[in-house]
Amino acid sequence: MEAGICYIKPEYLVTEGNGNSEAITTENSETNKRKRDDGHELETGGKKKWDKKERKRGQNKNRPVFKDERYSHLCHSLIDGTGGEPCSLANCRYVHDLNAFLAAKGEDLGPECYVFSTKGYCARGVSCRFAKAHTDENGRNIKREDYDENAPPTTFNGVSSELQVRLRKHEYDFSRSKQLIKLAENLRDARKQKEQKEKDDKEKLSAAEENQSAVSENSDKHGKEPPVDSKEQETPTGCAVDDSPIGRDAEKKPAVDFREKLVLSPLTTLGNLPFRRICKEFGADITCGEMACAQPLLKGMGQEWALTKRHKSEDVFGVQLCGNNPNMLNQAAQVIHETAQVDYIDLNIGCPIDLIYQQGGGSALMRRTNILELTVRSCAALSDRLPFTVKMRTGIYADKSVAHELLPLVEEWGASAVTLHGRSREQRYTKHANWNYIEECAAKAKNMPVIGNGDILSYEDYVERRTLAPHVSSVMIGRGALIKPWIFQEIKEKQAWSPLSNQRYEMLQKFCNYGLEHWGSDTKGVETTRRFLLEWQSFLYRYIPEALQEAPPQKINARPQKYRGRDEMETLMSSGNAADWVKLSESLLGRVPDGFTFVPKHKANAF
């Protein structure tokens, strides 16, 4: 059998020219590979060859983004329907013509509002796309009798208006952060001084030994003992550094136990709160928000702070930070620690995105060790109850791994755990993750948990990786969870689960409900939910049911042969065509607006 191919049972195979419009055509064929954005190909030696620089990109850049002009926001004074209090703002920019708004909104998408049915009240009121479920005969928004206005919120974090003002006016007190940076600088300078002293002493000792050898030879010739220099016999004093175990170096019980856990990777765009809720229900132990950049957080930007939001079901939750400046990173960590409910903070030093890397953040920090040391030392010292972790790759270049050198240093600087993705920045997601190297690095850690990451799509993959890397404490799953969110359940139950198409459809329905609760059930919220559903479907379609495979389990980098599903829905879910994803979303969230187009952000078809 050819490597990289997932072989399908003969009864589900599709042959060329069979006329079946429902058949799934794999990207293994040349006609189904996505073309470059400019549509051009390079000719080399008579064969079509993709541009190397283009292949390395992980996103569909310059993709068309559809903007829906059908709706505007209804003024809050009219949210509860007719007869509300008049708007008190002289220059209110929202819609005040209720009838015109309702006409533009269109028909309801269904008879039941998930938010109203679960909470007893829908704050979107008449702007909700399921408004008839919670409006009376007069068009007023209603509250169910069992609705509790004082019930605790189900979602935490984000930025308040008061915090926004303090951040934007530079009124937030970061004196603690400045002290920690200064302390980290002193420790770094003391370490360098000590290393230089040891180097100088080693050179002096080597020179003294050479001199002693020469004198001995001379003494043997003349029969005299060489004079003894008392200064050379003095014990080196070393560097005057206080070695007492204080702060993060003190022995203590960690606030979060990262050992023997299933960790959901922080996933840009796709690791949103509704998706994390799905993964928690399937058995993920630890979740982490999407990568948030330190600078926008410190500017109080609501869009960036939204990445810190946490659902009550996420019992162990962390926020991942990215940046290129230790002062900014430490200040962002401080304000999150003081204003948000998080269990740990993670530093991203593995992000391969060009923009982040060129600015000195992400994987660029793996070569900026002075900056990395200041960041880890200062952030780890924020609180002995707030673990600070680091997520890294093997290095920047495929042929030059540096993680084995960095990992012991990061532990020395105070990190509570390190996640190692077994690929370099240069490799992105091509080639297989190097778990032998992950084990080599994990073996160098003294007491710090090391979390392995890469290429786990089944329980068998999990067992194989843990056997290859016995020093790895836990496993983090990213793309595997996007393709098979039930991977956590499979690992815990130690057996494969092959959901039917109706079970997978119910999972998508649940995601949409969670999305409407999180982003809103009005038109904007519906379309936001649709966009994230379509982005997720660009990974979900890669799942191949075990019953269709000749030799399960599926490997994450293996392309399937051309095949059809066991029913129409399974065939639709397995399609790599974005138009089919839109069709699937319409069955869940209603028709798309006229002129709607979708191109996925990530080139998830790269096997």
User: Catalytic residue positions?
Assistant: 351
CB count, 10 Å around CB of 341? 12
CA dist 256 and 385 (Å) reads 8
Please check whether residue 158 is in contact with residue 556, taking contact to mean a CB–CB distance below 8 angstroms: no
Helices (H), 154-298: 161-168, 175-222, 273-281, 294-298
Rounded Cα distance between 510 and 506, Å, is 6
Q: What is the DSSP letter of 134?
A: G
Of 500, 57, 538, 457, nearest in space to 275 by CA: 538
Cα distance between residue 166 and residue 151, in whole Å: 28
> Which tokens in the block code for residue 35?
């073309």
* Chain centre distance of CA 194: 38
Within a 10 A sphere around the Cβ of 217, how many other Cβ atoms?
10
CA distance linking residue 321 with residue 386, whole number of Å: 14
Q: How far apart are CA 381 and CA 183, in angstroms?
A: 10
Choose among 545, 519, 542, 522: nearest CA to 532. Answer: 519
CA pair distance 28, 534, nearest whole angstrom: 22
88: its two tokens: 């008190």
Check if the beta carbon of residue 142 is closer than 8 Å to that of residue 169. no
Position 92, amino acid: C
Return the number of other C-beta atoms located less than 10 Å from residue 607's C-beta: 18
- Where would I find the beta strands (DSSP E) of 307-372? 310-311, 317-322, 344-349
DSSP state of 559: E
Helix (H) or strand (E) holding 48: strand 47-49
Measured CA to CA, the distance from residue 24 to residue 32 in angstroms comes to 10
* CA distance to 98, 441, 442, 451, 463, per residue, from 470 (Å): 64, 11, 9, 11, 10
Closest CA to 570 of 585, 588, 584: 584
Which tokens in the block code for residue 119? Answer: 């909470």
Nearest in space to 287 (alpha carbons), one of 253, 250, 255, 312: 312
| Tokens coding 50 | 């993709």
